[in-house]
Amino acid sequence: MNTKIDLPTGLGAFAELPRASLVSGRTALEPMPNLAAECGGARLFVKRDDCTGLAFGGNKVRQLEFYLGEAIVQGADTVLITSAVQSNFVRLAAAAARKLGMDCHIQLEERVPTEDPLYRQSGNVFLDKLFGATLYSYPDGEDEAGADRRVREIAVELEDAGRKPYIIPLAPGHPPLGALGYVVAAKELLNQLAERNLGVDEIFVASGSGATHGGLLFGLRALGSAIPVTGICVRRDAVKQKERIRRTCDGIAGLLKLDPVIGEDDIRLNDDFLPPGYGRINDATSEAILLGARKEGLILDPVYTGKAMAGCIHHARAASDDASFVFVHTGGTPALFAYQGMIEQSLRLP
């Protein structure tokens, strides 16, 4: 296990935090010239965190390094996690647990109102089963506290059976260990921009749990960068999400034993692409999925990256030709197959 990371001493207590080695290496920063031309000329780049290396990749691999680093230190033999039926996080938690020699118990929450058999059997659910995870169901997709409470009950049952479980929490109020992965990513991205002498006007990222958005924003500011980060809301409206990001950033400061570095104006959110809700497709998201595939060969999902790309495209179309934007591709590839029927219908594919 790697317990130290190559970050400046100005980032406080990073060297004290355990970290499991899961990310395969630095992810690419690639230009998107065809999509840029489609959008009117502003320069577009994609940070390929869909290629983090483990089990179809995605942003959660970076986050799991810090959660599972702590799990190893605690001597855990089982990982517990709760999230949506087609969650990328639980799929990667199961894969990471297996890679580190642990078992995984997954609670799937009913967040998306659909009985589509593909949604319930394909994509991430199929992979959860392939990794041998034990699956549970929770009926209320909007009850984070209740979902966490049920996971704690499962943990007690496992402890009674002689196991040593480690819980990855869902609701706010816990140290945001996962967000530290995107403090690391912020340094990685800044290095890539410096190597190319590339100035960036804005970064776009899906904003859901808040760990990726909050970690990236905190990392940039702690490292002295003022690049704006716009989170595209994928689960809750901008007012609620802003409080979540604020708490995440405050929690990161606490973990690193640093003073807060995030001001009120730093937290930028756009919820225009959220309706009709989490995991549900709208026209802008459908267009973004189609343009990503046909202009750049990028695979986007309708839950996170499709909506975030829709926001990036919207801003690019309104920008001047000399503007530069970075889209953080957070993965989600397997979920695309679970949404196949909905996407085909939305895009009227043959």
Check residue 78 and report its DSSP letter.
E
Check residue 177 and report its DSSP letter.
G
Catalytic residue among 21, 83, 87, 122: 87
Domain-located, residue 4 = no
Instruction: Please state, in angstroms and rounded to a whole number, the distance separating the CA atoms of residues 258 and 16.
Output: 13
Same domain, 28 and 128: no
Look at residue 5 in the predicted model and tell me its pLDDT.
35
Report the number of distinct structural domains present in the chain: 2
Domain-located, residue 36 = yes
Same domain, 202 and 326: yes
Dihedral of alpha carbons 143, 145, 147, 149, sign: negative
Same domain, 202 and 255: yes
Same domain, 211 and 263: yes
Same domain, 181 and 276: yes
Same domain, 84 and 201: no
pTM of the entire predicted model: 0.94
Same domain, 152 and 189: no
Neighbouring C-beta atoms of residue 192, cutoff 10 Å: 17
Q: Check which CATH number belongs to the domain holding 319 and give it.
A: 3.40.50.1100
Residue 186 belongs to domain spanning? 9-58+176-347
Q: What is the pLDDT along the chain (350 residues), one digit of tens a residue?
A: 333 334 544 566 777 899 999 999 999 999 999 999 999 989 999 999 999 999 999 999 999 999 999 999 999 999 999 999 999 999 999 999 999 999 999 999 999 999 899 999 999 999 999 999 999 999 998 999 999 999 999 999 999 999 999 999 998 889 999 999 999 999 999 999 999 999 999 999 999 999 999 999 999 999 999 999 999 999 999 999 999 999 999 999 999 999 999 999 999 999 999 999 999 999 999 999 999 999 999 999 999 999 999 999 999 999 999 999 999 999 999 999 999 998 998 888 87
Same domain, 126 and 104: yes
Same domain, 54 and 92: no
3-state DSSP assignment of residue 105 = strand
| Three-state secondary structure of 289-330 | HHHHHHHHCCCCCCCCHHHHHHHHHHHHHHCCCCCEEEEEEC
Look at residue 283 in the predicted model and tell me its pLDDT.
95
Q: Which residue has the tokens 């996971």?
A: 151
Is 225 among the catalytic positions?
no
Instruction: Please state, in angstroms and rounded to a whole number, the distance separating the CA atoms of residues 144 and 83.
Output: 9
Look at residue 2 in the predicted model and tell me its pLDDT.
32
